[in-house]
Homo-oligomer: A and B are copies of this chain.
Amino acid sequence: LKELLQGLRNGQSTVDDALVALESLPFESMEFAHLDTHRAIRSGFPEVVLCQGKRTDHVVSIVKKLARHSPVLATRAEPEVYAAVVEQTPEAQYHEVARAITVGTLPTPRIDSTVMVVSAGTADVPVAEEAALTARWMGSPVDTLFDVGVAGVHRLLHHRKQLMAARILVVVAGMEGALPSVVAGLTGKPVVAVPTSVGYGAHLGGIAPLLTMLNGCAPGVVVVNIDNGFGAGYMAGLLNLLN
């Protein structure tokens, strides 16, 4: 901004040019989308595409445009969506369990410290993998530990050393969602908790573990939306890069 104003002061630009420039923050306009190409400047990471809810042709176009600027991460992508994307963007890769598309190679980890992604059950693994992939895409080393829920807490105790080795923990749990509290109590590490929609009946599509995690009595737990593996992985990646 200062540069811009100094150019004006120096007579290198006109008032009208300055007005235009002041308003021309970078984004790329499409008929149905404003790609936030400025985000990489603001936050250090490019915009991520949530495929769910968008028309497939829109996803295809958006991924193609974004791929010109930076590596791409597109989440909640069904196999059909990937099939359409890869036709236009041949270097796109599919991560089946995580249900995600990436374009560009995942970066070499920038740091040593690790994000650990833990799941309570086998059925929570897709959400956990989405979190793990996101953190890896941001440049974090990631470790995983699956199916260690509280019904058999000895499985968790057995892995305590592994848990203590991480800088940030992402804990993914459906059913009653009690695992993040127990993990935070055991380790004293910051925990990003992800409730999942795995359950039935009074589970209410994930509301039950969401409430459990919000009401946890162990400090050091924060929560993201139900099934939001991306959000948890993003936060963990961001925090792991803090220096």
A residues apposed to B, CB below 8 Å? 1-2, 5-6, 8-9, 11, 14-15, 18-19, 22-25, 27, 30-34, 36, 38-39, 42-45, 47-48, 52-54, 58, 62, 120-123, 125, 146-155, 157-158, 167-168, 174-178, 181-182, 184-188, 190, 192, 195, 197-228, 230-232, 234-235, 238-239, 242-243
Contact of A153 among B158, B185, B214 (CB under 8 A): B185
The reply to whether A25 and B154 form a contact with Cβ atoms under 8 Å apart is yes
Q: Which chain B residues lie closer than 8 Å to A204 at the CB level? A: 211
Contact of A178 among B150, B155, B192 (CB under 8 A): B150
The reply to whether A220 and B207 form a contact with Cβ atoms under 8 Å apart is no
Q: Which chain B residues lie closer than 8 Å to A213 at the CB level? A: 176
The reply to whether A5 and B1 form a contact with Cβ atoms under 8 Å apart is no
Q: Which chain B residues lie closer than 8 Å to A47 at the CB level? A: 152
24 pairs of residues in contact across A and B, judged by CB atoms under 8 Å? A2-B19, A27-B152, A27-B155, A30-B147, A34-B155, A36-B152, A42-B187, A54-B122, A62-B122, A121-B217, A150-B150, A150-B185, A151-B185, A151-B216, A175-B215, A176-B217, A190-B239, A197-B201, A201-B205, A202-B207, A202-B214, A204-B211, A212-B212, A221-B235
